[in-house]
Amino acid sequence: MSAKTIVITGTASGFGQLSVRRFSEAGWNVVATVRKETDLDTHAAMENVKTLLLDVDDEQADLAFGELAQSQFGRVDALINNAGYFQSGPLEATTMDQAHRQFQTNVFGLIALNKAFIPIFREQRSGVIVNVSSISADGGYPYNSVYQASKAAVASLTEGLHAELSGFGVLVKALHPGAMATKIYSKIDGAQNVPEDYDASWKAFTSLNMILSDPEITAEAMYRMVIDGDTRKVHYYSGPDGEATPRVKQLLGQDWYFEELSARNRNEATPLWEALMPHPKSTARN
């Protein structure tokens, strides 16, 4: 059987870069996208990877990308919508332009790419789409409201698409990674001119001992969810904090979970929270 082909967006660093290597090493052909010309050689050492330019904010380019990707190796079997970034800070100090840009990249670009590949997968009666969401979509983190709203939109869109397309043999799945050591935290689009009123709670939140896991964990989760053939599962979680989130939420129920998470975000985690949530091993990788 000839090699399968996957398209992965946002591959200049982080999960995208690691997942290109994971699929390539497993014998897949990979169409990898980057948005800067200087990153076009990111995967140059791998023969079965073709790297193309794509800024996912460009909806016309996204909508045309299905055919362009298909022409690289003759067919496409899977798509990972990974490109995204992190807008952070209190909402009142976040401009509407920042909010629009966050949704343009994390949501509208991703919607356009789903639209580009759905007809291809529907007609061939097979295909897997992984839309990268976040554990923040499960809600309740301060100073992330626009980002987590964008990731909740991705999760909800994915549920609808799974219901819409599984009958055609097309599987659409959401990945909710926990906190992982990638470059995303060095490229935050932060709120400006934050009122002093926020100083105490901002300090409590930012002084939390947030431990970042090894992003290889997420690249492996991406690989597994593309190949597992599970036609029913929609939401996947990666990392110790990621995997604990749905379990703890189910155990406590929505309201109690929110109460416990809010206390933790004020740096007042209860012993119950400390006992239920694992503490990932830190890593320097990015």
Ligand X SMILES: NC(=O)c1ccc[n+]([C@@H]2O[C@H](COP(=O)([O-])OP(=O)(O)OC[C@H]3O[C@@H](n4cnc5c(N)ncnc54)[C@H](OP(=O)(O)O)[C@@H]3O)[C@@H](O)[C@H]2O)c1
Q: 196 vs 1, 93, 202, 206, CA distance in Å?
A: 62, 11, 10, 15
Of the candidate residues 19, 31, 65, 84, the single one contacting ligand X (CB under 6 A): 84
From residue 122 to residue 161, the character string flagging contacts with ligand X as x (rule: CB under 6 A) and all else as - is: ----------x-x---------------------------
Can you tell me the distance from the alpha carbon of 191 to that of 88, in angstroms, rounded to the nearest whole number? 6
Stretch that binds ligand X, among 20-28, 161-169, 180-188, 227-235 (CB under 6 A): 180-188
Could you tell me whether strands 5-8 and 29-34 are parallel, antiparallel, or unpaired per DSSP bridges? parallel
Q: How many residues in the shown chain lie near ligand X by CB under 6 A?
A: 25
Query: Can residue 85 be called a binding residue for ligand X (CB under 6 A)?
Result: yes
Query: Can residue 174 be called a binding residue for ligand X (CB under 6 A)?
Result: no
Stretch that binds ligand X, among 54-62, 164-172, 228-236, 248-256 (CB under 6 A): 54-62
Asked about 233 being catalytic, the answer comes back as no
The residue with its CB nearest to ligand X is 14
Query: Can residue 5 be called a binding residue for ligand X (CB under 6 A)?
Result: no
Minimum Å distance from CB 186 to ligand X? 8
Query: Can residue 280 be called a binding residue for ligand X (CB under 6 A)?
Result: no
Q: 14 vs 67, 84, 109, 156, 202, CA distance in Å?
A: 26, 11, 19, 24, 27
Asked about 4 being catalytic, the answer comes back as no
Q: 131, 110 in Cβ contact below 8 A?
A: yes
Query: Can residue 220 be called a binding residue for ligand X (CB under 6 A)?
Result: no
Q: 246, 183 in Cβ contact below 8 A?
A: no
Q: 66 vs 177, which CB is nearer to ligand X?
A: 177
Of the candidate residues 105, 144, 145, 158, the single one contacting ligand X (CB under 6 A): 105
Taking Cα atoms as reference points, which of 21, 20, 52 lies closest to residue 36? 52
Minimum Å distance from CB 44 to ligand X? 16
Of the candidate residues 4, 5, 6, 14, the single one contacting ligand X (CB under 6 A): 14
Q: 183 vs 233, which CB is nearer to ligand X?
A: 183
Query: Can residue 184 be called a binding residue for ligand X (CB under 6 A)?
Result: yes
Asked about 71 being catalytic, the answer comes back as no
Query: Can residue 55 be called a binding residue for ligand X (CB under 6 A)?
Result: yes
Q: 118 vs 180, which CB is nearer to ligand X?
A: 180
Query: Can residue 10 be called a binding residue for ligand X (CB under 6 A)?
Result: yes
Binding interface with ligand X (CB under 6 A) = 10, 12-16, 35-36, 55-57, 82-85, 105, 132, 134, 177, 179-180, 182-184, 187
Catalytic machinery residues: 133, 147, 151
